[in-house]
A and B are shown apart, each in its own frame.
Chain A
């Protein structure tokens, strides 16, 4: 019977074009639509799979931003037991250090055996959330996980390495895991079930201490990629192109 906490966040939805704010220091948040971080969605799936297999309870914690309630009701329909939104000034975007402090503070109250979160997110500017939370709670962290088995006081995890290598590791609980992929892809829940949850389930609000941004970064300038004229198009037939390429590589010292 494990007490599992999934910590998740909403990130910019890349289906819409991103705009830079007037100061040129970040995204224009008025234009953003937020969506659950895909890796976090896998973390939720992994948490629910563990609960279904081994019993226990799943608590999902997310900062209060646009769309977070719909997302939490969806996780309730998937089988989460408790949904908590962090009450704070998150709408303008906060760095992961501040977010991790808030997650750690709230997660701690639930005495988790296991904290699951996405291994990364598209708006991570100051490192992923998982290792920071582990640091603040004094727990071990393993990232790039694609499978978890629970045993008495420990977890056996599958960690993915580049090149298709898989490592199997054991970690003492409580621990934080950065999920690369759940053992199954995130499940579909019928809208009727989500709507049912909207009527019956409750989302708790957690008060948090003042946001602590220390240790994070602040962006000086954010801009769209600028077109540069560095590319040289090589013309000619195959032989000529190959000869030209070789001379360019030689010039650059690559050959």
Chain B
């Protein structure tokens, strides 16, 4: 062991204390529950437990020459099971990715998503001017704050995939219709909105996250609104848990909480369409990261004729779709490493549950799961729908 090796390990170790509850790392039992529960742990040179072991041995610098840390999809499964409450996902794994990124050890796919985020304010590389283009073919107007020039009750933070991805735009329009139907006074930022930056942060690009957060904070500061609502659990997580640390503090809720509160108002609008078996996939950033398990189920159960069935992994043990922590931009990399897709595993479980529909509540999911229904056997009739789409269908 040289002084340089030790220097890296020591600095890395000490930086972990800056994360909330970070000092818990000192109490790691080396039980390896974290590495065992990790969906990609078997493909990692340094799953969390081993990373801690090498850190204790003072030789963690060897991690810098490996790239399998990029398999981490920041799903919080390890953090959830750790008996010592060590913040493995936001602390250890994210810090490890930051170090890899600083060392220039970064997969090309991820690089372009980060460059796009920096340049265009969205990881898809789409024109920022077209951020609100999804609203153009609705038969009512979606107010854009800059033009509306008035205070609103709800500022809807639309998010990247919800704004630009053609499949997810369907969900976005469903939410717009629902807000319109319920007579909610709302507005969006349109081209002034930037990526929430949360997945970029969890992919190790803290500076980029801060830059994007500052831009959003500036836009929020220009307008008057009661609260922020978003359909994107990643944006929700960022605005709720991370932005306040940068002095950007606003009340924020995910749409499932917002609508569950109005369930008595919504129920009379819902017409049944016959019996249907639905299973619900808990998104990592709604479930494990933020503890929202009931609101989405309340909404689904309000639809007449719906029988809600659970998959074997549900709520705190939900399986990640593979899109978190940069996973959205690492499909090729993940495939090369393991020739598996986490979304396939999830869709297999949905098939086993005998549900006809898998309901979701995160914009990363419809495209990922729909791709999997095309390849997983027995999944060709499985319908992937965001809860919003199911609600709008039931309203008719």
Chain A residues engaging chain B, CB cutoff 8 angstroms: 15-17, 35, 185, 187-195
Contact = CB atoms under 8 A, between A and B. Distances in A.
Contact of A188 (B114, B206, B211): B114
A79 to B, nearest CB: 11
Contact of A192 (B106, B111, B114, B207): B207
B108 A185 contact: yes
Contact of A191 (B106, B108, B207): B207
Interface string B108-119: 100100110011
A188 B126 contact: no
Nearest to A189: B104
* Chain B interface helix/strand/loop/mixed: helix
In which size bucket is the chain B interface?
20 to 34
B118 A191 contact: yes
B206 A192 contact: yes
Nearest to A194: B207
Contacts of B106: 188
Interface in B89-136: 101-102, 104, 106, 108, 111, 114-115, 118-120, 125-127, 129
A249 B338 CA distance: 50
A188 B208 contact: no
B68 to A, nearest CB: 18
**Quick one: which of B102, B111, B207, B210 has the most chain A CB within 10 A?**
B207
B370 interface: no
Given A191-B208, A195-B211, 16 more contacts: A15-B127, A16-B127, A17-B127, A35-B119, A185-B108, A188-B101, A188-B104, A188-B111, A188-B114, A188-B115, A190-B207, A191-B207, A192-B207, A193-B102, A193-B207, A194-B207
Q: Which 4 A-B pairs have the closest CB atoms?
A: A191-B207, A192-B207, A188-B111, A191-B208
A185 B109 CA distance: 12
Contacts of B114: 188
Contacts of A16: 127, 129
A195 B210 CA distance: 11
A191 B205 CA distance: 7
A191 B115 CA distance: 10
A238 to B, nearest CB: 29
